Structure 1
Amino acid sequence: MAFYSHVSTGWDSLDRIIDHLRMGDNVVWQVDTIEAYQKLVSLFVNRATAAGERVVYMRFARHGPLLEERGNVTVHHLNVDGGFESFSAQVHTIITREGRDIFYVFDSLSDLLHVWATDLMIVNFFFITCPYLYELNTIAYFAILRNRHSFKAIARIRETTQVLIDVYNHKRQLCVHPIKIQDRYSPTMFFPHVKEGGELVPVISSVEASRLFASLTRHPATDAQRHLDYWDRLFMQAKALVDGAAGAEERQDMVEQLSRLLLSRNKRLLGLIRRHMTLADLIQIKSRLIGTGFIGGKSLGMLLARQILAADSDDRWGEVLEPHDSFYIGSDVFYSYIVQNGWWKLFMEHKTPEGFFEKAEALQTNILAGAFPETVRERFQLMLEYFGQSPIIVRSSSLLEDAFGSAFAGKYDSFFCVNQGSPEQRYEAFEEAVRKIYASTMNPDALAYRRQRGLDQMDEQMALLVQRVSGAYRKNYFFPEMAGVGLSHNPYVWKKGMDADAGMLRLVLGLGTRAVNRVENDYPRIVALDQPLVKPLTGLQDIRKYSQHYVDHLNLEENALQTMPLEELTAKDLGLRLDRVAVRDTETADRARAAGRPIPEQWVLTFDDFLTSSPFTRIMCRMLGALQQAYGVPVDIEFTVNFNQAGDLQVNLLQCRPFQTIGRRAGVVMPEHIPEERTFIRSEGRFMGGNVSLPIALIIWVDAEAYTALSTTDRYSVARLIGKLNRRLVHPDTMPALLLGPGRWGTHTPAMGVPVTFSEINHISALAEVSYQDGSLIPDLSFGTHFFHDLTETNIFYLAIYPENPDVRLDTAWLEILPNLLPEAAPGDSRLAVVVKVCDVREQGLILQSDVLSQRLVCYRATT
């Protein structure tokens, strides 16, 4: 180990000029060629190994290797294709493992431009790596190629490093010019030096120095471009191809290159991009991009879906689709925010297996209080000036979000900015929304979701989508006519003969928040697109009860997202065409008058007239069909509905992502004549998960009557207990479990069900929501919601059980006689054994079977 301070570069003459290297030095060489850097590396490494020092070579570039493994030289081959985070983590891990007093050689940092395409991220990498190497008392060699980087990037590197030396050729003479040598000084140290023989001689004469620097002066156009990041110069080249006479092949090559830097690394998505997006489309996206990097999954899904429809010659989508007005905050802004606020070391600790959850809380707290660079703040301000006081929504759009197999539905936050008040107030509200979304990457549910899908070590940068809110001003309120969620495959058909492949919608009046979230005490209109008037309900009483009673809107006067009862909203004379979306509830009005308490006119939202008298159903069916055909898998969309001045229907396509259906399509042979005493559950319809034959080894049952008797605090304790059992006992393969409980699992309101988070039930094989009328605990699958996506992506079978219906059976008496394993499974929660029962049913051979075609479901004991 090197305990002395002076270290040789391997070139004695250079050592004398810079007074040797010091332990802790990061040495950056600005060179014209890799060959020049390799000679400097060879001198340094040969001298170091001769002195018995250990050298570690970080190999990652496309250029030839600088060193071969030998003796005291260790070579680490790094993967740069995974992105900034994974590459930086690899380097950090190696440096940590190697320890103190090591000599390092890195490949040319300039080569990272081919995967990161931005000087900013190279500077960020250097900014986080250089201090860590300094802290461990190492010496590290880096190279950057001349004229490849912006002046600003070179300045940031110079600020961070301890040593920066320029190396170039002038009239076939090697010139070495120390630019920065920290904590050392001599009268000639910072002069350029030319090589004469084996010595470096300072160019002291003003005449010679002037001639030397004159020959190095760049062309004015080149200097002008170097005020720009490499990223901007790349897109300038792309625009020149579009504006010029470039051939189709050359343009397509540029599309391929830019797509991997701006849109996605996913091969399936890149295939869709190749078929549906042009170079002009990518340049248009860049014009609305703040920062650099990817625009993220949500932004890509929205743009790609629109391009797919635009190319569909069978429908004139241009007349139907409402134009979007969006900006994108690049994924690199997220990493720069982490790096420049000084949290990268904490971020790396979070990336370790033991720190993945433990360090997330501190990181989340920091993120909520960080500061943005002035350049980013300026771009934020310009964007807000563009939107003026129009309401906007800031939406998460991470790299992994809305991808094939990982929707991340509801795992990250999105926020409405009503955008009222002074410019300063509007800016602060926007910046707070950005911080909150960044902080949501550290939510326990999001982290559990990533780990369960093996994504915890992948880059998950948070890009953002900023959209003008779709809707209309109605006095002091702003909201669209309607909004909703669409699925091209209906996984929960409730009537024989209904076509699952026709798709379905979840439709609400007002903002779509009530369609994408599992809202308490409220229900959207569920529309089967092949039979839009057929409801999963019968009778006006049920239709009234299970309809939408509240409307989400933006209150411009209060500058807030609010919820208002439908009857209160209709009384404000906002010009709503209720006759188009609702029917009068004369029965309720008549009962109120008879009781001597007149009430305002009552409406029940059914959307029946709108579904039958407008082209909406046909439009949505064709839209979902076209998108599914292009994606090659079922899709899930979010949309709003408005009407233009001519009264024509306008659909705003806000989001599109692959939708993962669950369950096998192959038929299941349903058993006949099962004895009643061996039938645990019997039902028709009201299940989601396809055709299954699922063995059940464990039942976890929350008794409805006992649950409703608990305090609110104890109901939360039940939820946490379910999480413990989920982690300790349940496994989809070795211990498949059926979880039964009253009302809605995952609710935010304990009075409506058990308020678990999804990470507390993510190992369950089958989930049952049991109706309990006495406590108003009503199941709700909530098609298309974030909860719904979690079920489908985790292959959890869902069923709703209504024991009060005569054709439904739930044999709780059998459960009551089984031994309760809770006291031994969770001794600290034994007091809750009257509420939660854990039963091992492996000896009973319990099997859950369902058949989509007949809509039959049965769970029975195969053994007596």
Structure 2
Amino acid sequence: MATEIPQEWNDFYLKDVSFVNLMTKRIFNVLIVANPYDAFMLEDDGRVDEKIFDEYMDLGLRYPPTFTQVSTTEEAENVLHTTNIDLVICMPGNADNDAFDVARAVKASSPDIPCVVLTPFSHGITRRMQNEDLSIFDYVFCWLGNTNLILSIIKLIEDRMNIDHDIREAGVQVILLVEDSIRFYSSVLPNLYSYILLQSNRFSTEALNPHAAAQRKRGRPKVVLARCYDEAMEIYERYADNILGVISDARFPIGKSAGHDLTGSTPLPAGGAGGGLGVADAGLRLLREIRRRDEYVPLILQSAESDNADKARAEGFRFVDKNSKKMNIDLRKLMEEHMGFGDFIFRDPNTHEEVMRVRTLKELQDNIFKIPNDSMLYHVSRNHVSRWLCARAIFPVSAFLKHVTWHKLQDVDAHRQIIFDAIVQYRRMKNIGIVAVFDRGKFDAYGHFARIGEGSLGGKGRGLAFLDNIIKRHPEFNRFPGASVSIPRTVVLCTDFFDEFMDKNNLYQIALSDASDDEILNHFLRAQLPDSLIADFFTFFDAVKSPIAVRSSSLLEDSHYQPFAGIYSTYMIPYLDDKYEMLRMLAAAIKGVYASVFYRDSKAYMTATSNVIDQEKMAVILQEVVGRQYGDRYYPTFSGVLRSLNYYPIGDEKAEEGIANLALGLGKYIVDGGQTLRVSPHHPHQVLQTSEMETALRDTQTRFYALDMKNVATELKADDGFNILNLRVKEADKDGSLNYIASTFDPYDQVIRDGIYEGGRKVISFCGVLQQGVFPLPELLQTAQKCGAEEMRRPVEIEFACNMNTDKTGELYLLQIRPIVDSKQMLDEDLQAIPDDSCLLRSHNSLGHGICEDVTDVVYVKTDEDFTAANNPAIARDVEAVNRKFLDTGRGYVLVGPGRWGSSDYWLGIPVKWPHISAARVIVEAGLKNYRVDPSQGTHFFQNLTSFGVGYFTINTFNGDGIFRKDILDAMPAIEETQYVRHVRFERPLKIMMDGKKQEGVVVLEHS
């Protein structure tokens, strides 16, 4: 029977590691003190500069060290006084330049600069060193002309400089090398480092783009060199939790001061200069003590004394023979097998035969349930998986799995599940906020955002990548159980494919001509996309398994200062079992998006915004469509647009609290100007449209859009909505998709009840998600608006879609973010600073935002002494007649009248309907001394005011609230005058300005 996985291992959170913060302390300037011959060997023959430069470039580090070479102590001191030197390397020279003397002088004047002696091993030097105090130098190395040793020295010292910080920051691993023979560690270190750097190159492929790959390499294991037992134990105790493995010599001193004659010691074998007397079994003692404390850490004993092989194996340690010609290969093999380097090889525990090999994290995830039980048990009980992940710098998963030991959970299948879940969470976490390079071997259901090509992502692509990054950096998005927030899985075809497509198919001539949209589209549909994309598209189909939206993402679109939204086409294609048919539709849709750059409207828009069409480059976004399939149609529970500024606040709403428009079905319905539900996320209980039954039945959504899943054979059309169904809300009711977003109208009791009931019209009220807390939509929208506006440093508009589940869980997808830069809304002027005598109208209680400078006409109701509300129906008829003339000529006007415009009770105001005043640009409620009505804030026309950006002023001059210079209008000749209404025209346009943030509005007289 399977063991139940403890809750702590089910509900875990992996914290991401930032590799950019690792290896921050570097060695930039190296001073080499050497005689001219050795210097020549280093500089010309060994090409040390070149080798170091190549190595650093490969690591993604921008500043490789530079080398300064001098020959004498005086020259060295001069350089030390004039340059910031990070490392001094002294090479023994001739009689007047002794390496030890130079090094001693350097240490005396600059004790903090690391100083290394590089010495060839002649008999004379060996003898000399036995009488030399080596403790003042950081390291002494044996120089045999191998420039790789210089690299190893730099790496060893950099590792020492960064180790404490990098372990704290990320859990970087440590390989402890215990060796007192200078000659031996001088040859083993270059080999060790070259293998570690090779490993870092291999594991960097886990990264999702070249930049991240270069940074991942900084997470490679560090090497620490200990030269006696006490030093080794001190290092082990300090870094015990991060030791990847220990490689130890068999014989070395126990105490720190070399040369002590300790019990049981014997002299070092010839050639093992440095380190004084060694204790024969010091290595075994050390490994025994470490094994006592850690049953899993790999321990390797190296020795030139062959009888140590049996002793090591008897205690379960690995052994490397120093006398072997292939010693380096043997050591690499053991590191690969036991320290997690290279591929993970699952073995049969009895025969030790390979049963499976995995090269990447994704391969481990894909195969974890296929590995035989006995092999799985063998590796799990020795913590091999955790160690392999450690060696690959996958620290969050490794650290988590390290604590899920066989002692705590003796169930192979439970271990499989835990490992799988941890990898999935890690890959999700790493995918979020990163623009990966699309790789067919890595992109799957957990792939998130990738690009194909080297060009730009375009405006929408950048916006999506930015949104993804915001979600990653703000964990508060996912603070509600059962409510996830993300972007849909996305692949961007970069702009370089657009250039290649246009050039190879010779399309510019037809594209830039005056041909019709359909003609241009037909040319584009006949052109060819590169064949190299086919396999990538198939991989994407398999990963998303849903319909795909093909969106434009041009360079100019959604750019910070140009409102290009909605200019180009967006197509949706259904998900089909026939992948080749799906490929045909996808290719056609991409070409259709490319063609839309050159459609008539696009060219006109380019001209209007002073852009040159040749500068436009198009990336294409391929994105899973959010939603569910209901029979032959597909749509999300609801879509919406969120704006962080609300220019029509009502009641206690504030402009900066933002506003959202919600609609059942696809978001194209909102873009096309359909009837939506308008709500401030900060005031979800205050929805004007559902506040009264009559309004709710009149002003809520009656139709919605869905993707037609069976419209496959139809050829692509210039109209990107050719396969979008326009359906009645009752169709969604049949689909059962209205849970939590609809109320039911009961015609018998004449009431609207929250929820879905048999019979009765369904009203899209969003009652469950707004008022009943079924899903935390208001809170999530508040978070999106706050984080989006803060990160963009300006007001933003965010598109989103949501799938609700019957168990009240849901997934909110953010689809796009763009700055609000509607040109007419770029209002910089302080309206309060405009003098009263320049104003025809001034309101301190206005709705709307922006500037309008093309209105010359004012239509106003005559409110003389004999005004009575009893005439309001007649006034409404006069206003309707005047409005019709404005509609015929396409002009706008300012409308002023007493009481509430549009009130059904004519005693409260003039009972017009929206079509009767639809040409008005500003509507003014002007209260009278003897006819006072509470301001309505335009509630009767609210949907139309917000949709068409019409201003609504409330003015009560009798108590000093605002200005209405009726005297100016009365003194002007009338263009038209009835019993109740006057229409006048100014020679110069009026300047209408509205500040939606402060609810100030003015109509300024333009003086000649």
TM-score normalized with structure 2 length? 0.43
Greater length-normalized contact order (CA 8 Å, ≥ 6 residues apart): 1
TM-score (norm 1): 0.49
